[in-house]
Amino acid sequence: MTLLEEILRAEKRIRSSIKETKLEYAPILSEMGNCDVYLKLENQQKTGSFKIRGALNSLISYSADKDELEFVTASSGNHGAAFAYGITKLGLKGTIFLPRNASPIKVKALKEKNVEVILYGDDCVQAEIFARNYAEKRNLTYISPYNDLLVVAGQGTIGIELEKQIEELDYILVPVGGGGLISGIAGYFKSKSKTAKIIGSQPLNSPVMYESIKAGKILAYDSLPTLSDGTAGGLESDSITFGYCKNYVDDYVLVSEDEIRNALRFLYNKHEMIVEGAAALTIAAFIQKIKVFQESKVVLLISGSSIDEKEFEKIIA
């Protein structure tokens, strides 16, 4: 089964349970860049981020194929929220492992759901490795936040929506952490021989995928703290997303913490949006490389809305 075929299967599997999120024209960014800029508003998706697509696709598929109805995952937050939603919706049981440095607001929100929440490790990779081993020892199904074909295929349904919403795209800018989101979108467009260039955006403080692609192998890379906590941390050593990103992603843009902060302010002041740091990566990348996009049609993926209220107030101030 190819990635494109899996994406098309995911579309049928989850369409009735997700939103087709809006594609909103961004007049100020368009004027700034002498181009047409659109925001793909996955921050308005159910559970507040794109993650519900991959989580639901995997949970529906695995629960249909297996006898046990208990699942395990690891997440820095948004995948956990999507996993918890799916567990509740489908009447399953689930446990979520989060790194100890996960966003407090995301931890609090998950503890209010119908899942067990366990904090382990100092980053997402440690939590993921422990969660996978935990599941294997108990003969439970582990669902990775990105290193799973069904998860990647679920995220790829964004590509199907974009293809319906806009014609002849030139660029799609996508936040990159573990690479599940950009793998799905890039895999869909490239598999259909579309000409749109797929650009990944990562924080300078945690450019793990970028550095791994540059090195030709997945690196154990120490990240620094970043406002883009949703994309922070490393990759599992066998992650399928590395190959997809290597083959399908055209380029990467690394952005500073100041650029992320300014992008968060821009979205709040010009679009009245409160989003998380990861969602602002594409705005920051577009502004940094603005001359590249002249006279083109550009989509910026706004990935999620979950941010600590006090932290956001501090950024805006």
Q: Are 230 and 77 in contact (CB under 8 A)?
A: yes
What is the spatial distance between Cα 133 and Cα 147, in angstroms, rounded to a whole number?
A: 15
In this structure, the answer to whether residues 107 and 136 fall within a common structural domain is: yes
Q: Are 274 and 307 in contact (CB under 8 A)?
A: yes
Residue 254's domain comprises 3-49+150-316
Q: How many CB atoms lie within 10 A of CB 19?
A: 13
Report pLDDT for 230. 87
Q: What is the pLDDT of residues 1-40, one digit of tens each?
A: 899 999 999 999 999 999 999 999 999 999 999 999 999 9
In this structure, the answer to whether residues 232 and 263 fall within a common structural domain is: yes
In this structure, the answer to whether residues 183 and 232 fall within a common structural domain is: yes
What CATH number should be reported for the domain holding residue 80? 3.40.50.1100
In this structure, the answer to whether residues 36 and 67 fall within a common structural domain is: no
Q: Are 182 and 303 in contact (CB under 8 A)?
A: no
Report pLDDT for 123. 79
In this structure, the answer to whether residues 255 and 155 fall within a common structural domain is: yes
In this structure, the answer to whether residues 226 and 282 fall within a common structural domain is: yes
Burial 213-251 (b: 16+ CB within 10 A, else e): beeeebbebebeebbbbbbbbbbbeebbbbebbeebbee
Report pLDDT for 66. 64
Report pLDDT for 82. 95
In this structure, the answer to whether residues 101 and 187 fall within a common structural domain is: no
Last residue of a domain, one of 147, 178, 204: 147
Q: What is the pLDDT of residues 194-208, one digit of tens each?
A: 899 999 999 999 999
Report pLDDT for 42. 98
Taking the model in full, what pTM does it have? 0.94
One-letter identity of residue 210? Y
Last residue of a domain, one of 147, 179, 201: 147
Residue 56's alpha-carbon distances to 100, 156, 265, in angstroms, are 25, 13, 32
Report pLDDT for 140. 92
How many distinct structural domains can be found in the chain? 2
In this structure, the answer to whether residues 115 and 253 fall within a common structural domain is: no
Report pLDDT for 193. 82
In this structure, the answer to whether residues 281 and 156 fall within a common structural domain is: yes
Report pLDDT for 69. 78
In this structure, the answer to whether residues 235 and 107 fall within a common structural domain is: no
Q: Label each residue of 43-106 as H, E or C.
A: HHCHHHECHHHHHHHHHHHHHHHCCCCEEEEECCCHHHHHHHHHHHHHCCEEEEEECCCCCHHH
In this structure, the answer to whether residues 118 and 143 fall within a common structural domain is: yes
What length does the chain have? 317
Report pLDDT for 189. 96
Strands 23-25, 36-41: pairing is antiparallel
In this structure, the answer to whether residues 39 and 17 fall within a common structural domain is: yes
What is the spatial distance between Cα 317 and Cα 315, in angstroms, rounded to a whole number?
A: 5
Q: Collect the ranges in the chain with pLDDT lower than 50.
A: none
**CA dihedral sign of residues 248, 280, 6, 25:** negative
Residue in the structure block whose two tokens are 């100020």: 28
Residue 71's nearest CA partner among 52, 93, 51 is 93
Report pLDDT for 105. 73
